[in-house]
Structure 1
Amino acid sequence: MAKLLYSATMSLDGFITGPGGDMSWMTKLPDTGPHEVADGIWQQVGSLLIGANTYGGDDPNAGTEAEGAFGGLWSGPQFVLTHNPPAAPVPGYTFVTDLRTGVDAALAAAGDRYANVLGADVAAQCLAAGLLDEILVFIAPVLLGDGTPLFRHPGGTFAGLEEISSTPGPTPTIWYRVRK
């Protein structure tokens, strides 16, 4: 059975994008060599649930072989959560207008793999609705000072987390299960 996973690379000070949604900082990270979790996570993902800002946002690898999800390695069903779907179909994407429909579709399409959330706003909505199962964070060795935080929910949202695994190194990784 599929699980809903939010995975993101975050600066040490807690941001997944720089100011204005800038993702160019991702191309400036030092090459830290092989990373067991980062190098293999894309193979565990069966579908994507993407926020509108992420869909229309900055891909730091645009125009290169690494363009797209997981450095261009991943392909599969992609669901974009938006209040304003395009009038004409966009190849490779299904647009949904409510959270539950998007989550259900992404989970069904994922099969026995993860439905991976891309976008802090959608992840926060999933968390607040009690739909998020796991969170995987790669901590990049940079400070951004401003941008989109890993989580933001006006008024706050308390979520208890239980560690599944952690990986030390130049880009530490922490994988949590959301307590429900």
Structure 2
Amino acid sequence: MANLIYSATMSLDGFIAGPGGDMSWLAPYTAPDPAADELAARTGALLVGNTTYGGDDPNCGTDAEGAFGGTWHGPQFVLTHNPPASWPPDVTFTDDLGRAVATARAAAGAKDVNVLGADVARQCLELGLLDEVVVFVVPVLLGDGVRLFDHPGGHLIRLEHIARDVSEESTHLRLRVVRD
């Protein structure tokens, strides 16, 4: 079965988007990265939050627009309560997280499902569905915005290192969710 992996690029102070979902801060940190390329190659489907799907892309209007700098193409499953009237052929909108995860895993085949969006990742963690967290920490402080993980009053979630790597652009952390 496909692993469910939450991946994000994060500022050193823990934000994956600036205030209002602003992603322009990310543009200077989109250079080629072997760890990101490896993650993209392992990805067979995306499970995306609606805010992320309709959000700010720092590469908008360029060849690098889209997931993994425009290098990844495949099925996307968008979790939303308000689907649009029409959508691209590789995109499916649903309001049922369990069904979205099951369908995305089936679509991914032998590859993994990459979760994009902090709220969807939090929901997957709460249900015990998330297998890994992959974070690219870049050298910038945003001070405010969307946190990598935010669950006020939540409980401790233990993670264990699978891999660590440092490149010129980021520090890459790959962690497994520990299930007790």
Q: Which residue of 2 aligns with 1:125?
A: 123
Structure 1 distance, partners of 2:174, 2:86, is 38
Deviation beyond 2 Å, 4+ runs, structure 1:
28-31, 87-92
Segments of structure 1 that go 5 or more residues without pairing to the other structure are none
| Amino acid in the other structure paired with 2:104 | A
| Cα distance between partner residues in 2 of 1:89 and 1:38 | 27
- In the alignment, is the contact (CA less than 8 A) between 2:30 and 2:69 conserved in 1? no
Report the equivalent of 1:174. Answer: 173
**Could you list the runs of 5+ residues in structure 2 that have no partner in the other structure?**
none
1:79 partner amino acid: F
Report the secondary structure of 1:25's partner residue. helix
Taking every aligned residue pair, what percent have the same amino acid on both sides? 60
1:8 corresponds in structure 2 to 8
Contact 1:10 1:150 in 2 (8 A): yes
CA RMSD of aligned residues (A): 1.4
Q: TM-score scaled by structure 1? A: 0.94
Tell me the amino acid that sits aligned with residue 177 of structure 1.
R
Equivalent pair of 1:128/1:157 in contact (CA under 8 Å): no
Aligned partner of residue 144 in structure 1, secondary structure: coil
Deviations 1:123-177 (A, max 9, x none): 0000011000000000011110001000012322321111101112431111000
Secondary structure of residue in 2 paired with 1:165: strand
